[in-house]
A and B are shown apart, each in its own frame.
Chain A
């Protein structure tokens, strides 16, 4: 098998270089906006403010890591906000009533997230519903379920497991605990994508579903796997968000999917599938949080934030299109050279 030699060859190709430039591009963009904000506002580069940016970005970064799994396969998960809300509501409702279950809230969340993600994956891979439509449907269904389940009750801070409430406030080594959790989730996901066969399959399928099929990869398992993973990660994000918010109603994390998608796109995970990394997505989340924070410090009205965010998304995807062109150009050239040789 020539798999060992192909990556080394790729390292020198224009395509891989373009992809690396794309990742570095997000970092450079982040640094540039940080410099601009720092120049405009003395309070921006303080330790406290940086900490608060990272704290805001933490949950978004986790959710974006989950979304990346799905986007890598060339699909989408619009139901991420509903999965977050449903998990937080159901888990904290049950653990509030049965306090013996409080130590296992994380396991409960993971199970729920896996189930919801599995349903998404099943609809998309087995019933072959386009992912936008399927997750648009489950977005409504999961959210509607919370509404029926909750029956307009609100879960109050007092019934939350104390350690979850503490976690939301905790600061470890000078950095909020949530940031450490986010780092852990993102790095674990990144490692799984890089080294675990499952992760390699996601990339293989995403970059060319047809070729992956000829190679003998089972698309059904890959897609269900990606969505289940995304569901689990979204559930963790929901749990953290619930603990942070405290009083949870049935609309928790409603509409967050567009922000998560924005983070993923800005972070350089190609919407066509097959390229990008969770680290990029996490940095995308930090970019969004930085823009928000900086504009608030500069007392720019909320309105301009939407405008700037929107333009940033389009710029990011425009750069992606250029990179994509380079990658296709590079691989096609290589293929032509191989044919000639």
Chain B
């Protein structure tokens, strides 16, 4: 039992928080808990989920990618352009995914091969890719997208929107990828100690580039969802959403220092953030006010356990004095 708590404690906490948020939201509106409504509001978080799933292996490896929203924009405007040029989706989608994967791989090469810090590299490509998206889309953006491209945003299986099913599929895929495959094991090894992993024969650079390429491709897929949901594509698509995505990943229990975290946690964090946002919208909390709650949740989720630990240490370590404290504060 203790092991279960230790292993799944974070996910358990998230589930409890989701339940609390759902209870709070349902007191605000009787319609909140209606399954149709729930699944429909789930659609709004599909884009964030896909980006968060892409970011997740990168963070596990101890790196970061803040350019994903710009990659999404490249994906969405490319799809938009191709669609109005009459290219069938079956051709346009793979093409877009490949382009976005290449954009991601460029990040990966700069980080893993050139050895540059990922935050700065992706800060640079955040601007550069956004610029590319604007150049492709032009001033006006793309509208009048043919219905073939919009199916993902307007199809339901029973009461479940297809895009929500897409998220469930990718959550499962990411779980398998990170828990069962070589790539996943390598990622955790790199995140825990890249140097040791290198010495143990892990292809560190290749694994990193692969993670960035995967994130790029998932951002491209999120671009398709964007086009399907909003029926237009512009250069400024998803601008500024990356902070929300990082929040979701970190809140999902993925250590920003790398080496730990699970896809289920990321999914639960998205659900929690989604429930909270929906609830706050019902409570008429203004958009920027909602960010306060999300920020507090992010800091609280990491800070409170640490604060508790500090307080406990102070009391527990008192008899043994300074020696034990210096050991526990590296």
Contact = CB atoms under 8 A, between A and B. Distances in A.
Interface of A: 76, 123, 126-130, 132-134, 136-141, 143-148, 152, 250-251, 255, 258, 261-262, 265, 271-272, 301-314, 317-318, 321
A188 to B, nearest CB: 27
B288 A251 contact: yes
Query: Which 7 pairs from chain A and chain B are nearest by CB?
Result: A144-B292, A140-B295, A310-B128, A307-B131, A310-B127, A306-B131, A303-B134
Given A136-B246, A250-B288, A303 B131 contact: yes
Given A123-B299, A144-B295, A307 B132 contact: yes
A239 to B, nearest CB: 21
B68 to A, nearest CB: 14
Interface stretch (B84-92, B118-126, B176-184): B118-126
Given A127-B302, A129-B302, A306 B130 contact: yes
Contact of B303 (A127, A307, A317): A127
A314 B302 CA distance: 31
Contact of B127 (A123, A301, A306): A306
Main secondary structure of the interface of A (DSSP, over half): helix
A152 to B, nearest CB: 7
B303 A140 contact: no
B125 A314 contact: yes
Interface stretch (B30-38, B109-117, B150-158): B109-117
Nearest to A144: B292
B310 A126 contact: yes
B289 A137 contact: no
A126 B308 CA distance: 12
B41 interface: no
A304 B64 contact: no
Contacts of A304: 131, 135
Contacts of A140: 243, 247, 291-292, 294-296, 298
B286 interface: yes
A317 B120 contact: yes
9 contacts: A129-B306, A134-B299, A137-B298, A141-B296, A143-B292, A262-B123, A262-B127, A306-B134, A317-B121
A130 to B, nearest CB: 5
Nearest to A255: B240
Given A144-B295, A307-B127, A310-B126, A321 B288 contact: no
A144 B299 contact: no
B289 A147 contact: yes
Interface of B: 64, 110, 114-117, 119-121, 123-132, 134-135, 235, 240, 243, 246-247, 250, 256-257, 286-296, 298-299, 302-303, 306-307, 310
A133 B286 contact: no
Contact of A271 (B119, B247, B256, B302): B119
Among A139, A152, A309, A312, find the residue whose CB has the most chain B CB atoms closer than 10 A: A309
Contacts of B64: 132
A134 B310 CA distance: 17
Contacts of B135: 301, 303-304, 307
A318 B306 CA distance: 36
A130 B246 CA distance: 13
B292 A313 contact: no
B46 to A, nearest CB: 22
Contacts of A146: 288
B250 A133 contact: yes
A124 B119 CA distance: 18
A212 to B, nearest CB: 13
Which residue of B121, B235, B298, B307 has the most chain A CB atoms within 10 A of its CB atom? Answer: B298
B78 to A, nearest CB: 15
Given A258-B126, A318-B114, A133 B131 contact: no
Given A136-B298, A141-B299, A148 B289 contact: yes
A308 B288 CA distance: 31
A272 B117 CA distance: 8
A306 B128 contact: yes
B123 A311 contact: no
Contacts of B114: 318, 321
Contacts of B306: 127-129
B310 A147 contact: no
Contacts of A262: 123, 127
A146, A152, A271, A313, most chain B CB atoms within 10 A: A313
B322 to A, nearest CB: 14
Contacts of A76: 119
A310 B243 contact: no
Contact of A133 (B121, B125, B298): B298
A139 B243 contact: yes
Contacts of B294: 140, 144
Contact of A321 (B115, B246, B293): B115
Nearest to A210: B330
A318 B114 CA distance: 8
B276 to A, nearest CB: 12
Max chain A C-beta neighbours (<10 A), residue from B115, B123, B256, B307: B123
Nearest to B128: A310
Contacts of A318: 114, 116
Contacts of A301: 134-135
B121 A141 contact: no
Contact of A313 (B120, B129, B288, B293): B120
Contacts of A127: 302-303, 306-307, 310
Given A137-B298, A140-B298, A265 B131 contact: no
Contacts of A305: 131
A314 B116 contact: yes
Contacts of B257: 130
Nearest to A141: B295
A202 B52 CA distance: 35
Contact of B256 (A130, A148, A314): A130
